[in-house]
A and B are shown apart, each in its own frame.
Chain A
Amino acid sequence: MQLHLLNRSVASSHVYQDALRAMGDDDYLLLIEDGVYGAVAPLHEHFASIPGRLYALREDLASRGLEGRCAEQVIVVDMEGFVQLTEKTERSVSWF
């Protein structure tokens, strides 16, 4: 079980495709920094293949004016939730 961190927007970078392809069936994906742009409809549809395993960091959403605009399929976590995810997973892999 791994936690993948994505900090680029799906609208500006294709790296999310590499992340998705590298993800195992029980891995999580957390959108951070510019990655959170992908949490808003319709961009969140790029992550349709990982239902229930897509997270976005509240602090980064808030700073971009996106808090409350997230697609409902996205699980919003704060810093504490981020830490809990890292504790739950064996390791983190960063995609940038």
Chain B
Amino acid sequence: MNNEDSSTAMLVVLRHAPHGSSWLREGLDVALVGAAFGQTVNLLFLGEGVQALMKDQQKGPLGQKGTHPTLDMLAMYDIDTLLVDADSLAQRGLTEADLQLPVTLITTSQLPFLFTQYAPVFNF
């Protein structure tokens, strides 16, 4: 929708897996609120956070909602830039083909620079 450079965008770093804690959902909520208020929001999936993108997720055993429908919804909030740490994927034996959405892979050497490119960084 808008192609502002990342210096005016916010970065939300997602580092926790779905289901086990509420960190992932809280990070996604912050991203959605930012986008709802017109901010450009980019997401970075790092460490266990890459598990959020796994294909074929379902509700929890007691019917608890997952976060995968929310990931599918991101495009409706114009959150289209999904950055994924390539090493985090590789360490878990995953490739892009295992993910439910198209992503942009980031190498470890790009990470420090990435963090300096955004005014606000929200780490979850």
Contact = CB atoms under 8 A, between A and B. Distances in A.
Chain B residues touching A, range: 10 to 19
Contacts of B60: none
B80 to A, nearest CB: 22
B46 interface: yes
Contacts of B112: 21-25, 27
Chain A residues touching B, range: 10 to 19
Interface string B106-124: 0010011111100001010
| Chief secondary structure at chain A's binding surface | mixed
A2 B116 contact: yes
Contacts of B113: 24
Interface string A4-29: 00000000001101100111110100
A41 interface: no
